C-alpha cells in the first residue's frame, strides 16, 4: 500500500501545483467560467454545449472548478442536456489522463519506485482499492485526475475503469446539472444545497469505506 500512496501523493502534488498556479494567475476561475458561458450564449446558444465540454476536458491539466461548471451547465442548458455536456467533458478529460499515463506513466514510475517488487505491490494495491477510489473520487478536487492516471499507470482495463468512473460520475453530474437547471441568480439555493449535499454524501462514503478497510485489516492482518 505504501508505494501506491507514494505515487498518489506525487500526483496530488503535481495537480495541486497546477491548481495553485491557475488560482494565482486567474486561469479558469468560477467567474471566468461563468463569463465564458455567458459569451457563448450571446454568440450562439448552441456553442454552450461545446464550451462546457471543452472546459471540463481542460480539467485534466488546468483544474477547472468541476462542480461549479456542471451547475452552470444545468443552468444554461437545462436538464438533461447540461448533464450530458458535463459527463462528456469529464469523460474525455479522464480518458486523456488514463491514456497518457498508460502510454508514458511507466517511465515516471520507474524513477519514483525503482524496485520491481514495490511496483507490483503498487499495482496490486490499486487493483484492490482502486474501484472504490474511482467511484468516490469526486469527494475532493484533483482526486479524479489522480485516479485516472493511476488506472492508466497500473494498466487497469479501460472498460473496468470506465465502469467505476461512470458509477461515480453519472449520479454526480445528473444531480448537479438538475440543481443548476432549477436555480436562478435570484434563487441559487437549489445549487448551493446540492453542492453541500453531494460533498456530504461522498465524504460519508469515504468514511464508511475507510472504516470497512480498517475492520478488514484487523480481521485479516496478513492478506
φ, ψ of residue 78 to 5 degrees: the values are 80, 180
Work out the pLDDT band at 222, boundaries 50, 70, 90: very low
Alpha carbons 75 and 78: distance in angstroms, whole number = 6
Task: Give this prediction's pTM.
Answer: 0.81
Q: Which three cell numbers stand for residue 118?
A: 514495490
108-125 b/e (C-beta count within 10 Å ≥ 16 → b): bbeeebeeeebbebbbeb
Q: What is the pLDDT of residues 13-51, one digit of tens each?
A: 776 676 666 656 666 677 778 888 888 888 787 899 999
Measured CA distances, 171 to 32, 132, 153 (Å): 26, 15, 26
Residues 72-100, mean pLDDT to the nearest whole number: 94
Average pLDDT, the chain: 82
Q: What angle do CA 162, 89, 199 make, to 5 degrees?
A: 75
For residue 18, the model assigns a pLDDT of 65
Q: What is the pLDDT of residues 122-163, one digit of tens each?
A: 788 888 888 988 988 887 778 888 899 999 999 999 999 999
Q: What angle do CA 55, 84, 131 make, to 5 degrees?
A: 85
Alpha carbons 82 and 45: distance in angstroms, whole number = 12
Amino acid at each position: 500500500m505504501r508505494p501506491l500512496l507514494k505515487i498518489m501523493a506525487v500526483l496530488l502534488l503535481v495537480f495541486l501545483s497546477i491548481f495553485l498556479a491557475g488560482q494565482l494567475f486567474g486561469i479558469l476561475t468560477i467567474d471566468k467560467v461563468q463569463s465564458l458561458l455567458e459569451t457563448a450564449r450571446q454568440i450562439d446558444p448552441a456553442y454552450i454545449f461545446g464550451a462546457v465540454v471543452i472546459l471540463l476536458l481542460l480539467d485534466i491539466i488546468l483544474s477547472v472548478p468541476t462542480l461549479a461548471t456542471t451547475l452552470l451547465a444545468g443552468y444554461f442548458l437545462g436538464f438533461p442536456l447540461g448533464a450530458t455536456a458535463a459527463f462528456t467533458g469529464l469523460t474525455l478529460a479522464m480518458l486523456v489522463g488514463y491514456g497518457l499515463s498508460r502510454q508514458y506513466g511507466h517511465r515516471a514510475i520507474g524513477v519514483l519506485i525503482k524496485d520491481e517488487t514495490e511496483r507490483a505491490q503498487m499495482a496490486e494495491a490499486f487493483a484492490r482499492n482502486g474501484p472504490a477510489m474511482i467511484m468516490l473520487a469526486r469527494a475532493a478536487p484533483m482526486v479524479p485526475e489522480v485516479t485516472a492516471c493511476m488506472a492508466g499507470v497500473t494498466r487497469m482495463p479501460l472498460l473496468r475503469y470506465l465502469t467505476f468512473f461512470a458509477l461515480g460520475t453519472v449520479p454526480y453530474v445528473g444531480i448537479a446539472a438538475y440543481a443548476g437547471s432549477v436555480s436562478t441568480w435570484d434563487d441559487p439555493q437549489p445549487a448551493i444545497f446540492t453542492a453541500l449535499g453531494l460533498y456530504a454524501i461522498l465524504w460519508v462514503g469515504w468514511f464508511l469505506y475507510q472504516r470497512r478497510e480498517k475492520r478488514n485489516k484487523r480481521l485479516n492482518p496478513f492478506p
